[in-house]
Structure formats: structure tokens, C-alpha cells
Structure 1
Amino acid sequence: MPEVAGDGQEVKLVGAWYSPYVHRVAWVLKLKGIQYEFVEENLRDLNKKSSFLLDCNPVYKKVPVLLHHGKPIVESLFIIEYIDETWKHNPIFPTDPYDRAMARFWARLMDEMLLEGSKRALCAEGDQLKKEIEQVSDAMEVLEGMKKGKKFFGGETVGFLDVAFGWTTIWLEAIEEVAGVEFFNRDKYPHLDNWKSEFKQIHVVKDSLFPMEKLVRFFKKYRQSQLKLAAEK
């Protein structure tokens, strides 16, 4: 499909290369063929966030931010819903109201259990690390059951939940290596393993994945800095 510029208006995505929240928005824009400008935000120093980001997202001061018609939309799952409702072609959300509501529910729950849990595990040790591993494992069990019998979470084609969970295909593996844990056991989660392979072959995903080594290096530095801060308290 030829790219569309979205009502003739400039579309910008404010983000950071390592953010799974940013990548899920970028995947949806690419799946719909929407031209956009990526504005890289340096978030490594939390005290040096740009005035541009603070103007766009004064409440959370986080990426991603989508700018359309000059108006900012924040929080990745809300951004994806906005994109899907604004550009109707190549729909991402289910058409059935019940299925849409359940997709929103599972996406939010997995962000809380799996994404945030694995991020906490990255900077945890001892009993806290065990607690986070248990929570992530519970979430993986749920996803394995949801995926059973389907090519993608939405059926035969990529949908909202695939995009929402797509970060697990690379970020989770990098966190495992840095934290020295195992979340993704291929024997325990065969359906998720098959989905992971299928999802990574989608052209907009495959073309946007960066070397694992780069993400591992970034996570190692982040883990070291956070553990150092915790030790100084």
C-alpha cells in the first residue's frame, strides 16, 4: 500500500530507540502506511528532558508522544487506538465491540504484569527478583493459553494484541540475559514461541529490529546505574 500522510497533516512520533512502547506505535503507523517523522528524545539523563517533550507531555513527561494536527496524544495504547480510529484502512482493533473491550483489557493487564514486571526484574535482586520472576511467569502462562490454536492473537492476521505484545520478541530476551533469568522457555510456551517467529518475520517488524547486542549493552548500563542508586539509599 502507498504511504499516506494522514489528512495532509504532519505526523510526528516522539520517542527513544530502546522503548518498546515507542516501537509498538511505530509498527502500527508502518502497517497502515502512514508517513511520519521520528523525533528522537534522549532520556538517559532524566534531568535533561527536552522542552519539546515537556511541552508535548507535561503530565507524564514520557515517550511516546504522537503529534497530529499539532496536537499531542500520549500513552502507547491510547495512541494506537487513536491511529486506528483516524486512519480506517488496515484496521488493528477487532470490529466486534466485545472483542475490542477484551483486547483493551488484556493489553493493559499484560503491560502491568509482564512489561512492567520484567522491567522491575531488570533492576532487582534477591527476594524482589524472585517475586518479579513469578509475576512474569504467571503472565506468560496466560499468553500461552490465549495464543493456542491461532496464528496470531487476533486470528490469522496481525492485530492490536500482537502489536501490544510484540516487544516480548526481543526486549524480553535482552532482559533475561542482563538479569540472568529465564522467562521464555520454548518447551513450556510452544505456542508463544511459534508466534514469536511469525511476528518477527512481518516486514515492518523485521526491518525495525536492531542488534540484540545494542539493547543488552544499554540494559547492562541501566541495571548497573539503578543498583548503584539503590545501594546509596
Structure 2
Amino acid sequence: MAKQKEVKLLGVWLSPFVCRIKWVLKLKQVDYENIEEEDLFNNKSELLLSSNPIHKKIPVLLHNGKAIVESLNILEYIDETWPQSPLMPQDPYDRAMARFWAKFADEKFITATFEAFASEGEKQNKAIGLAVECLGFLEEQLQGKPFFGGETIGYLDIALGWAAYWLQVWEEVGSMEIMDPIKFPSINKWMNNFVESSVIKDNLPPRDKMVLVLTEYRKILAGFYKV
């Protein structure tokens, strides 16, 4: 088990990308120090700016003083550094597919979902349609399995974990529906399996606080996503 002083995570509590890293560190029983950014919009910390000078974004994993950035990249780094409870499939083809769908989710699914959350009218409807289309592709990947990783949580489950929790909050705050449990029964079952896993359940942001913060955040975003 890594000593706490060796591993530090720089992020914010509300970020699904940061929570990905918290989940995998907990799954692998790696002790770490959580460092919360106070103001990402107006006053990024010197630690963040020096650790990620190119993108200036969270999360950042600091391991023995070395910075690793980009959440999917961090997941693979952790999986290779601490091999207990492996996330990645052993088969090379399965690993390639897990990376593909994780990238698809980040580039297509979460982008469409967030735009739907932040917009209204026709723009929101279009984004909802794209998000629903993404869910259809992901539904096919489960094929009745409890997790994308099979019988246990794997890399793709962690990468998609935001959808099992954040999506419902975004739907509530954005007055929209993307996830239809009748249309996507496998995804619906996976969501329940994921959030009920003890490691995940114990490391989720408080929903009430999320609703309050995201309601205000959506007002700010309204100017950027005008119809």
C-alpha cells in the first residue's frame, strides 16, 4: 500500500473526472492526500498551474512529486503502478475496445449530455438526441453483463461511472430526460450495480449539494449555450 505522502490528488469534489481517480485509488486501496482546488474559474492554485501548465485542468495525480494529467491517462497509470485489483482486461483486443469506448464516452456521450444540461429549446433537444444515440451504442456493449468489465468493476465502468450518478442530477437540474430505463434496461441495471458497489457508494458527492451548485452553474452557462 502506498504511503499517503507519496500520492496526492488535485481536483474538485464536483468533478466526475476527479471522482474517477478517487474510485480507482479506493478500489486498489492506495492511500492518498486529497487537495481541493478552491476556485477553478478565477484563481487556480500555483500547484495546479505548475503541475499541469499546458491544460491547467484537473484532475492531477502527483506520485512521488511527478505529475500525471488527463483522467483516462491517470487511470491507466494507476492500474499499471498498483497491479492489485486490475482494471484493464488481460486480452489485448478487449483492452483496445475498453480504451475505444472510454474515449467515445468522453468525446461524444458526456459532451452531448453536458450540452443538453446547459442549454434549452432546440439546442437542448438536439443534444439530448445525440446523448440517447450514444446510450444505444453503450447498451449493446453490456450484453447482459452486470458490469462492462464482466463480473467486477473494470476500466470502462470507472470511465463511465459518471453516467450512473451525475446523469440523473443533470437531468433534474436541466429539466430533461436522456436515460429511459425501459429503452436501456442493461444500462439501467448497470447504473444500479455501479452505485451500489460499496467503494463507489461511499465515494460519491452529496446529491443535495450537487443540485444546489449545478443549478447556479447552469445559470452561468446559459449565456454560452444560447438557442
TM-score range for the pair, normalised by the shorter chain length = over 0.9
**Are residue 201 (structure 1) and residue 196 (structure 2) matched?**
yes
Residue 24 of structure 1 corresponds to which residue in structure 2? 20
Structure 1 runs of 4+ off > 3 angstroms? 228-231
Structure 1 gaps, min length 5: none
TM-score (norm 1): 0.92
**Are residue 105 (structure 1) and residue 100 (structure 2) matched?**
yes
Residue 168 of structure 1 corresponds to which residue in structure 2? 163
Alignment of 1:150-189 (within 5 A): 150-189=145-184
Equivalent residue of 2:58, what SS?
A: coil
1:42 Cα deviation from its structure 2 partner: 2.2
Equivalent residue of 2:48, what SS?
A: helix
**Are residue 35 (structure 1) and residue 31 (structure 2) matched?**
yes
Alignment of 1:1-233 (within 5 A): 4-5=1-2, 10-43=6-39, 46-228=41-223
Structure 2 gaps, min length 5: none
| Counterpart code for 1:30 | K
Cα deviation digits, residues 137-175 of structure 1 (max 9, x gap):
011111111112211101111100111111111100011
Whether contact under 8 Å (2:19, 2:204) holds in the other structure is no
Distance 1:35 1:230 in 2: 40
| Counterpart code for 1:18 | L
1:190 Cα deviation from its structure 2 partner: 0.9
| Counterpart code for 2:32 | Y
Equivalent residue of 1:197, what SS?
A: helix
1:229–1:153 CA distance, 2 compared to 1 (3 A) = closer
Distance 1:143 1:229 in 2: 29
Whether contact under 8 Å (2:61, 2:68) holds in the other structure is yes
1:228 Cα deviation from its structure 2 partner: 4.2
1:191–1:72 CA distance, 2 compared to 1 (3 A) = same
Whether contact under 8 Å (1:16, 1:43) holds in the other structure is no
Residue range with higher mean Cα deviation, 34-43 or 74-83: 34-43
| Counterpart code for 1:16 | V
Whether contact under 8 Å (1:118, 1:136) holds in the other structure is yes
Distance 1:42 1:115 in 2: 24
1:230–1:97 CA distance, 2 compared to 1 (3 A) = closer
Equivalent residue of 2:119, what SS?
A: coil
Equivalent residue of 2:62, what SS?
A: strand
Residue range with higher mean Cα deviation, 58-67 or 116-125: 116-125
Identity of aligned residues (%): 47
Residue range with higher mean Cα deviation, 27-36 or 113-122: 113-122
Distance 2:13 2:118 in 1: 20
1:74 Cα deviation from its structure 2 partner: 0.4
Distance 2:95 2:199 in 1: 23
1:230 Cα deviation from its structure 2 partner: 6.1
Equivalent residue of 1:13, what SS?
A: strand
Distance 1:227 1:156 in 2: 41
Aligned residue pairs, count: 226
Please give the root-mean-square deviation of Cα atoms over the aligned residues, in Å: 1.5
